Structure 1
Amino acid sequence: MSRSLKSEAEFFLQQGLQLSQAGAYEDANMSFDRALQLYPSWHEIWYFKGLVLYELQRYTDAAACFQQALDLNPNYPEALNSHGMALFSLGSYEAAIASYDKAIKLRPAFHQAWYNRGNALDKSNCYEAAIDSLNRALKLEPEYSRSWYNRAIILYKLGKYEAAIASYDKAIEFRPHYSNAWYNRANILNRLKRYPEALESYDRVLMIKSDWYAAYYNHGNVLHKLKRHEAAVTSYDKALKIKPTLYEAWYNRGNALDALGRYDDAIASYRQALTLKPDLREGWYNWGSTLHKAGRYEAAIASYDKAIALDAKFARAWHSRGVAFRKLGMYAAAITSYDKAVQHNPNLYESWYGRGVTLGHLGRNEAAVSSYDRALEINPSFYPAWYSRGVALSHIGDYKAAITSYDRALEIRPEFPSALRRRNLALDPNSPSILAPDIDNSDIDNNEDFNESVFSEDVIE
């Protein structure tokens, strides 16, 4: 090749590099093409052309260019590394790893190749090997925050949460405004139930990136778990201002409002969640639960029915439906619902208890005792069942057994005036008060259903 042609090719090569540095990748690609027309065997031009095609996300073309460079110069570690990156972007992880291995063989201290190799091993689910590669990268470049960050992600996948947090801490040490690292760190702390620390990390995320709706959303979830419900609602509102279609935020906002006793607002929030996602089983259930708390039992039943239509084996919804029917005095329907609840979850002791209470209302005291027994087999410390069992046994006339039941209730809850009063009455079977009605067990925490959870406290993460 004449010196003038090479000089002209050099001109277009330098022009392409300048355009590439300016981000004008299409123009840079055209310049490299002009250079290759003049000097097609210049391996570096193929390499730089591959780089701009990679930036343009034309990964197949980029891989072909890197391969052309390697055909001309097989001992070209930069091209091997970039070839691996293009193959990685095409989902060819094993081929990418092979390319990185060749680059590392030629240049053992090639930090970027070790880093990229770790990422490809991660995608291949070879997590331990990926950690080893990233560790090698960090020995060469200990302040490279992305290596610490990706290492933390893999440690999380391995269930090594504390080590993952430590790795995020290192990433943040070298890049204090690394919002993704703060965010993932917060998520792990949330998972570990270290809520105050998680909250601090989410706060740091939002100081750096104030428009991150997911951070506001998870910030709200942590506040809700800390029972800071007003603050949780504020966080959900901020998330929804950025992304109004985030049904999870509408749902969890409803949960927080319910916890505040703002039932109408909670219902409005659930309505928004269900408008966005009509098949949200928990949304229908908690909407029903809020209606239930507001004393709107018929409307609550309609909501529970919607939840059950989505999941016929939703035992908690069947249970709450039974409670609502019992509140309406519809005892046969209540028993049918309780039966469905224990059919789908035989260990749901609250349903066995509620079933017993309902049978007692129907005067079926022996059957009620059997239901209480099932509840107590599952949860022997559930004192309302011991108390109600004593009442049913008193109605049957088995005062000795009733006293034993009251005693068990008083062992668990010594400050239980109704149990003590009932026990004293059972000691004197001839007392005219012995068969007096319980007034719906209202003396137990002022709510017959105090331990019959009719609300899902779980947040959607």
Structure 2
Amino acid sequence: MELGHNDNNNLTLSKFESMLKTNHVLFFDSEEFENIIHHYLNLGKIALAKKAIKLGLDQHPTSVNLKLFKVEVYVFEDKLTDANDLLDELYSIDPMNEEIYIQKANIFSKKDNHIKAIEVLKQALELTDDVIDLYSLIGMEYLFLDQFENAKINFMKCLESDTEDYSALYNIIYCFEYLNENEEAITYLNLFLDKNPYSEVAWHQLGIQYYALKKNKKALAAFDFAIISDDTFVGAYIERGKVLEKLGRYEDAIENYTLTLTLDDPTSFALLHIGYCYEKLGNDELALQYYDRTVHEDPLLDKGWIAITKFYNRRKNYQRALYFINKAINIDSENVTYWKLYSQINQRLSFFEEAERGFKKTLELGNYELNTWLSRGDLLIKLGEPDAAIDNFEQAVEFHPDTAELEYRLAGLYLALNESNKAEFHLKNAFKLNEDYSFILEELFPEVYHMVSVQSLIKQNSK
């Protein structure tokens, strides 16, 4: 039994902790020890739980329940052999104890033998009338095996026994969503709501399913019922705000998001979306105010920094945009989107070396989009670094073979370096892929494009 907050339990705990400080051994019955151990395990205080187990077994050496707590700690510490040996001993004493089977299954699960874990848990089902936790554990094992249909069936059994087991309901919906069964999820939730019409969680989940299917009016109605069932349900107001925002009802969306700020601690999601809505309404001052609050509330939320940077970008206030994207990079220097924005802003400010550095960093972080290679290479051409540009484009060809934009650039670079054989090779490839992109040569390499020899080469390859 879990330790509660009543006076007797608090007194027992105080008495135990006082005993630890004084080394004066006091007597506790086995149930008191179980409560104490359960309390410490729930708090993650493993050392204190182990002390309580040791003292408990000193006073009650035959207690199966205390030994089961010892098994639980062994499993937590990954001492699976010790746990298994002790379980075998307990099985010989009390073979009908379902907790022994649960811990056996836990060991199999830790060893990634989920099929065996399920077998053992099904044996435990035959030994108890309290089946909810067992069905939940079986469902989780099926999730580990990616057997979502079987997982769903077992979580449904949990919900049949306890209609307020919301963790089971969330897991059922997770299975439906993974199987792309939104319509089936809606059918299930409607049947559940017929019997449990005031389940705010079920209404909330129903709204999410309708929203996923772009049935926005039905989604709104579901979220309304969730709020009627519980007018302090922050998640329902958030989701309702998302639907209203999608429908372009920005003032109504703001009202819903703002309500969440009064019901609970402000979330960066709500603050950010209030900012989006105000920007859509043309209220730049309030939009900025909420974007600022977003990045102060959660400096690690990239969407906040991106929103405020793009806000200034759209208004061509590039210096201010650069200020904020630099702040973002200082917080998270591994964010690809930050570096792409950094490069684009520097390019608009004609800070070409900084822009090239940003695109290079973007590539180093694994963003191999064609546009990134092209942007970086064009900057290297502009900076007078043809060899680096060639190296960049040749790497790009490995990721984007048969791409005319790359072939024309390589042809132009080799023409500029008087390497006619390589230039002709890439020029042939380029014309074969797309003649319409030949303007790239004129735009990027005007000094060589109009040379007679180059025009002759172009004419030969364009036939």
Q: State the TM-score, normalizing by the size of structure 1.
A: 0.55
CA–CA distance in 2 between the matches of 1:131 and 1:307? 52
Residues 263 and 170 of structure 1: CA distance in aligned 2, closer, same or farther (over 3 Å): same
**Residue of structure 1 in register with 2:360 after alignment:** 237
What corresponds to 1:43 in structure 2?
163
Letter in 1 for 2:329: L
Paired residue for 1:68? Answer: 191
1:390-447 CA-to-partner distances (Å, cap 9, x unmatched) read xxxxxxxxxxxxxxxxxxxxxxxxxxxxxxxxxxxxxxxxxxxxxxxxxxxxxxxxxx
**2:382 aligned residue (235, 259, 276):** 259
Corresponding residue for residue 392 of structure 2: 269
* Structure 1 residue 313, shift from structure 2 partner: 6.1
Q: In the alignment, is residue 113 of structure 1 matched against residue 113 of structure 2?
A: no
Q: Match of 1:79? A: 202
1:161–1:275 CA distance, 2 compared to 1 (3 A) = farther
Deviation of 1:111 (Å): 2.9
Mapping for residues 239-318 of structure 1, pairs under 5 Å: 239-243=362-366, 245-277=368-400, 283=406, 286-287=409-410, 290=413, 316-317=439-440
CA contact (8 A) 2:223 2:239 kept: yes
Kept in 1: contact 2:226–2:233 (CA 8 A): yes
Superposed CA deviations along residues 215-238 of structure 1, whole A, max 9, x for unmatched, are: 223323333333333333333332
Q: Deviation per CA, 1:338-393: give whole Å up to 9, x if none.
A: xxxxxxxxxxxxxxxxxxxxxxxxxxxxxxxxxxxxxxxxxxxxxxxxxxxxxxxx
Give the deviation of 1:186 after TM superposition.
2.6
**What is the 5 A alignment of 1:381-460?**
none
Match of 2:297 in 1: 174
CA distance in 2, matches of 1:159, 1:243: 37
The one-letter code sitting in structure 1 at the alignment partner of 2:205 is: S
Q: How many residue pairs align between the two structures?
A: 325
**Residue pair 2:405, 2:437 contacting (<8 A) in 1 also:** no
Q: CA deviation at 1:33?
A: 4.3
Contact between 1:54 and 1:86, CA under 8 Å: does it hold in 2? Answer: no
> CA separation of 1:260/1:150 partners in 2, compared to 1, >3 Å: closer, same or farther?
same
| Structure 2: runs of 5 or more not aligned | 1-127
Q: CA deviation at 1:213?
A: 2.5
Residues 31 and 310 from structure 1, CA distance in 2 versus in 1: closer, same or farther, beyond 3 angstroms? closer
Kept after mapping to 2: 8 A contact 1:111/1:140: yes
Q: Which moved more, 1:124-133 or 1:92-101?
A: 124-133
Which AA in structure 1 matches 2:451? Answer: K
**Secondary structure class of the residue paired with 2:343:** helix
User: Secondary structure in 2 aligned to 1:245?
Assistant: coil
**Partner residue, 2:334:** 211
Task: Spell out the pairing of 1:313-332 with structure 2 (5 A cutoff).
Answer: 316-317=439-440, 320=443, 324=448, 326-328=450-452
Q: Which moved more, 1:74-83 or 1:26-35?
A: 26-35
Q: Is the 8 A contact 1:15 1:28 kept in 2?
A: no
Aligned-residue CA RMSD in angstroms?
4.7
What is the distance in 2 between the residues matched to 1:156 and 1:254?
A: 35
Compared with structure 1, are the counterparts of its residues 159 and 15 closer, same or farther at alpha carbon in structure 2 (3 Å cutoff)? farther
Percent identical residues: 22
Asked if structure 2 preserves the Cα contact closer than 8 Å seen for 1:304 and 1:317, the reply is no
Question: What is the aligned partner in structure 2 of residue 433 from structure 1?
Answer: none
1:54 aligned partner? 173
Q: Name structure 1 gaps, 5 residues minimum.
A: 1-7, 337-461
Instruction: Tell me if the contact between 2:207 and 2:218 (Cα under 8 Å) persists in the aligned partners.
Output: yes
Per the TM alignment, residue 83 of structure 1 is displaced from its structure 2 partner at its CA by 1.9
